[in-house]
Structure 1
Amino acid sequence: MWRTIAIYGAALAGAAILLQVLQYRLFVRTHPDEIYIAILALLFLGLGIWVGARLFRTQPPAPFEVNAAAQTSLGITEREYEVLTLIAGGRSNKEIAQKLNLSPNTVKTHVARLFEKLEAGRRTEAILRARELGLIP
């Protein structure tokens, strides 16, 4: 019984494949222009993706390295540098004090010394000057 079912199944599968081949041949004969255009479009799509990937590939940015010479020449301490990076992150004096476990007055002192050393009058000027000197990314 299983052998009979397998033979009929194989015969039906073969007939289905034969019908699909015949339908494909009929389709190719009746619509050759559309098939050629579709193949050409797929080739151009692949070429466009390949060229776009090659032309617009960006190199990963180099890791940031602190300009240690500028830091030492300005006399910026490690704690002042930590405060500077937090200022560049947009933190307020209270947030910096909480983050570094300092009093707000100590943070104000560090900020004032940074302003003197970077010759800045406000936070945005200090950040801009630090970026120009390569102290912060």
Structure 2
Amino acid sequence: MKKTILVFGLLILGLLLLFQLSKYAILSGDLESEYAIAIIAVVFFFVGIYLNKKSLHKNNTDTKEVNQKRIKELEISEREYEVLIGISEGLSNKEIGEKLFISESTIKTHVSNLLVKLNAKRRTQAIQIAKQEHII
């Protein structure tokens, strides 16, 4: 966290210095305003590329293997597992049904079966338990 704050602080400082230098160069007559704007645009372009690579394309090294043995112990069917994955993605029953090509009432049945098998009262609690059990 501290490293991120430091990097962003340095980026902001560098951009402010760029603006001040370009302002000075324009006022002194050494640089045309169009060139200053072009230079600033190029700098922002490369800063955008840098931020994109750093923030959006992080490798997820925290992947854990799914405990297939525990899924079998809980007697969760393949379809119920697919519904559980849909719930973990934040999808509604209707969206899960559209994704899996089954009716919303069937999804409701699978969700209630999952809640019983995971001993949960709510969908969010079921996801929490599934993560603790390394099911998802």
**TM-score scaled to structure 2, two decimals?**
0.55
State the distance in 1 between where 2:60 and 2:99 align.
Answer: 31
The verdict on how the C-alpha distance between 1:69 and 1:103 changes in structure 2, with shifts beyond 3 A counting, is same
Q: CA deviation at 1:65?
A: 1.5
Aligned residue identity for 2:98: Q
Stretches of structure 1 that go unaligned for 5 or more consecutive residues are 1-58
Partner of 1:117: 117
The two structures, once aligned, show a CA RMSD in angstroms of 1.5
Residues in 2 aligned to 1:112 and 1:86: alpha-carbon distance in whole angstroms: 14
| Distance in 1 (alpha carbons) for counterparts of 2:122 and 2:91 | 14
* Matching residue's letter, 2:74: L
List gaps (5 residues or longer) in structure 2.
1-58
1:81 is matched with 81
Q: CA 1:62 to 1:116, structure 2 compared with 1: closer, same or farther past 3 Å?
A: same
2:132 aligned with 1:132: yes
> Which whole-Å CA distance do the structure 2 matches of 1:129 and 1:64 have between them?
15
Q: How many Å apart are 1:64 and its aligned residue?
A: 3.0
> Taking every aligned residue pair, what percent have the same amino acid on both sides?
49
What is the distance in 2 between the residues matched to 1:69 and 1:63?
18
Alpha-carbon shift at residue 61 of structure 1 (Å)? 1.6
Query: What TM-score do the two structures reach when normalised by structure 1?
Result: 0.54
Residues 71 and 99 of structure 1: is their aligned pair in 2 closer, same or farther, counting only changes over 3 Å? same
Deviation digits for residues 74-105 of structure 1 (CA, Å, limit 9, x no counterpart): 00011100000110000000000000000001
Which digits, 9 at most, give the CA deviation of each residue in 1:23-53, with x for residues without a partner?
xxxxxxxxxxxxxxxxxxxxxxxxxxxxxxx
> Which structure has the larger Rg over C-alpha atoms?
1
SS at match of 1:130: helix
